[in-house]
Amino acid sequence: MKSFIIFSTFLMLVGCKQTSSSEEKITANTTKAQQTESKKEHQLREVLKTNNPPIINGNISDAIWKTTKWHPLDQRWVGEPYTEEDFSGRYKMAWDKEALYLLVMIEDDTLIDIYKDPLVQWWDDDCVEVFIDEDNSGGPHQFTHNAFAYHVALDGNVVDLGPDEAPHLYNDHVMSKHTTEGTTSIWELKIKVFDDSFVDGKKGNTPVTLSAGKKIGFVLAYCDNDHSETRENFIGSVYVPGEDKNQGWINADIFGTILLTE
């Protein structure tokens, strides 16, 4: 009888352990699924592959730009209403296995570069800002590399905040060139895409290889300053609900989604 009780207790313990293990697996899988589905996709846009990447020279004449679609840059995130003479913007995109390519056309009657130190108030000069979330996972990224918020200045410097909560230059992530004629500026950018394993100061960080079918979180924005110590407008490419629309530098959930296609 004693042996039977001991054996029965053993079976109960084994059963509990197996149940616990199964529950842990279910919980882990559920959590993973919840993380994967945490970002609600909006503004899904297809981006076509190019076999002839553009020359980054601020010129619109590359063949790929003749066959791709313009998208508007028209969502006022910060600042008072503005006129089309003050600002208007639009953009095109392409990709190959090495990088994303971006063409941006900006109508802006005044270009300002007040702060010559690229790590001082970089957001208050005229600049293009490109937000990239490599795995389209969404979520917070203010002081992490879950996503990047590249501020591309008129002089070509590229700034974002690092995990140490300080600004850093990421000039090897984004190559850019802009040309201006009258009030029209043409920006061309080549953007290498890094995932959240990127470590500042580490040798051997490598960008991901892009392929058809990949989804990437993406937003384009422009900081517009005419004559002030701080930017007067911040204009984005996606609609952000609520009163506080300046969320892109903190929360990748507001990013749109691009789908890489052949």
Each residue of 50-63: pLDDT tens digit? Answer: 999 999 999 999 99
pLDDT greater than 60 at residue 33: no
Residue 171 tokens read as 């000039």
The whole-number average pLDDT for the span 225-247 is 93
Q: What is the pTM of this model?
A: 0.85
Between the two ends of the chain, the Cα-to-Cα distance in Å is 72
Res 37: pLDDT: 53
- How do residues 155-191 score in pLDDT, each as one tens digit? 999 999 999 999 999 999 999 999 999 999 999 999 9
Res 135: pLDDT: 97
Res 17: pLDDT: 40
Is residue 139 within 8 A of residue 253, CB to CB? The reply is yes
- Residue-averaged pLDDT of the chain: 88
Question: How far apart, in whole angstroms, are the C-alpha atoms of residue 37 and residue 194?
Answer: 21
Strand stretches in the chain, DSSP E: 44-48, 71-73, 75-78, 87-95, 100-108, 127-133, 148-153, 158-161, 167-169, 174-181, 184-191, 215-224, 233-236, 256-261
- How do residues 184-193 score in pLDDT, each as one tens digit? 999 999 999 9
